[in-house]
Chains A and B, each alone.
Chain A
Amino acid sequence: MIPILLRDLRGRLLLVGLVFLGLLWWELEARSHAALDPMEFGPESTAAPMAYLASLTMIVLLAGFVSTDRREGYTRIFFSHPTSPFAYYGLRWALALLIAMGASLLFLVVLQGFAWGELRGGWSALLLPFLTAWIFGGLMAFLSAALPRGDVWVAVALFLPTLLAPYFTYALGLLPPVARQAILFLVPPQTTALQMVYEGILLAQVPWGAVAYAVGYGTVWLVLGVLVVRLREWP
């Protein structure tokens, strides 16, 4: 089944490749112009672009992965065969996670090759893309199961605060505390737990509480997605 799924994902994998190259160029540009702070531009610092790559890979590969089948009616024939929706969509989800982590690992190796001409380690940086892939994988599972269409745009909207973190934090500060807490609870923890994990990776002191929060956040959405798939009827 995996070769068939990969064949269907060809166009999306090309898009992931473009994101990969864009982030690589961006990162190399930053390194070529900045006064190189070993903390800011050390091997572990690749965690940030890898996290963007992993998030976007999950969003691109999982866009509409349940909702399109349901909307178009493909499920009618799919699930007359001896397979369960959980096995089928679980495989697609796991494949996306594997590709996101594979792309992140490749990014780490290629970036170091270009930057230094050698591998200098920094493997702990892979923790951050894993967490973001898990978070956005969970979100996509829920959104695609619950919404008839448009899951990808909701996920992109939730991803934007990562790129615009200072503005997002500023805008949050203008809100009443209750609204601020509610938004921080609902949106992915880019500005909180993941920021702590990133700083922890740079300092070689991973804050496991923040890691657990990020994993829990993704898991909650994933479980909700599974429940929606289980409870909804098929068209």
Chain B
Amino acid sequence: MIRITELSKVYGASFGRGGATVRALDAVSLEVEPGSALGVIGLNGAGKSTLLRALLGYVRPSGGEVRISDLPPRAYAERHGVAYVPERVAIPAQWTVRGALMAYAMLGNLGVDAADRVEAALHRLGLEDLAGRKVGRLSKGNVQRLAIAQALLGDRELMVLDEPTDGLDPVWIAELRTIVSEWRAADPTRVLIVASHNLPEVERLADRVVVLHRGRVLARLEMGSGAHPALESAFLELVGGERGRGAA
């Protein structure tokens, strides 16, 4: 479903960066089959968010290419939509919770089903009591739940989650796991991409994990096979070794 070939992204020089360029991704190649769940982990600045934004077509590759169902990412998103929870969730503060979901449902061309789907998403994320509240008055955790709710509005084939547990309490972290499992179970061809620093959650959600380090794929790990029962240990070993080599 997703084919990433030699993807590179270099952010241009700017005054804020002292005139230097930043190589966020460097020749990253990946294939994600229908029905699979890929975790993306790495240190801060490893390129995780840039990789996910390239999947949405929000950033233009400096080299290489991304294809989703044989389409460029922007064309795919505009045709099919992506269930996306960004790392920094931004929703107009003056919108109410229900109004925001309604607006996203309209953008998603959900037509006559829109109202029903909005109510279902409100219910699933436990937001009914907050439906009339303005987004600007929500806690961080509730904004995150709203972001997850909007991602569930349409029947998307691709879900991209960037730090999805950010701000969630332990109950909703566990609930998110259930939501994602149900979403995947509804259609076995659906694809999940999840990037997070919450390694135990990535381990639970993903079938396979790529470790990004300084914009490159450092390792590919299979989950659930017993080979890596503790992703955190494997990650620290991998990245610790790389950092040691970098220091030397």
Contacts and interface: CB of A to CB of B under 8 A. Distances in A.
Interface of A: 1, 4, 7-8, 72-84, 88, 233-235
A4 B91 CA distance: 14
A76 B86 contact: yes
A8 B135 CA distance: 14
**Across the A-B interface, the 8 shortest Cβ-Cβ residue pairs:** A73-B90, A80-B84, A82-B81, A81-B107, A234-B58, A81-B108, A76-B86, A1-B106
Contacts of A74: 90-92
A233 B60 CA distance: 7
Contacts of B99: 4, 7
Interface residues of B, number: 34
Interface in B188-216: none
Interface of B: 53, 56, 58-60, 77-84, 86, 88-92, 94, 99, 102-104, 106-109, 147, 150-151, 153-154, 160
A83 B89 CA distance: 19
A10 to B, nearest CB: 10
B80 A77 contact: no
B106 to A, nearest CB: 4
A234 B86 CA distance: 13
B89 A77 contact: yes
A88 B84 CA distance: 18
A77 B59 contact: no
Contacts of A76: 56, 58, 84, 86, 88-90
Nearest to B60: A233
A80 B94 contact: no
A1 B90 contact: no
A205 to B, nearest CB: 46
A72 B90 contact: yes
B107 A88 contact: yes
Contact of B81 (A8, A80, A233, A234): A80
Given A82-B77, A82-B109, A233-B59, 20 more contacts: A1-B106, A4-B102, A74-B90, A76-B56, A76-B58, A76-B88, A76-B89, A77-B150, A79-B56, A79-B58, A80-B56, A80-B77, A81-B108, A81-B109, A81-B153, A82-B78, A82-B154, A83-B109, A88-B107, A234-B59
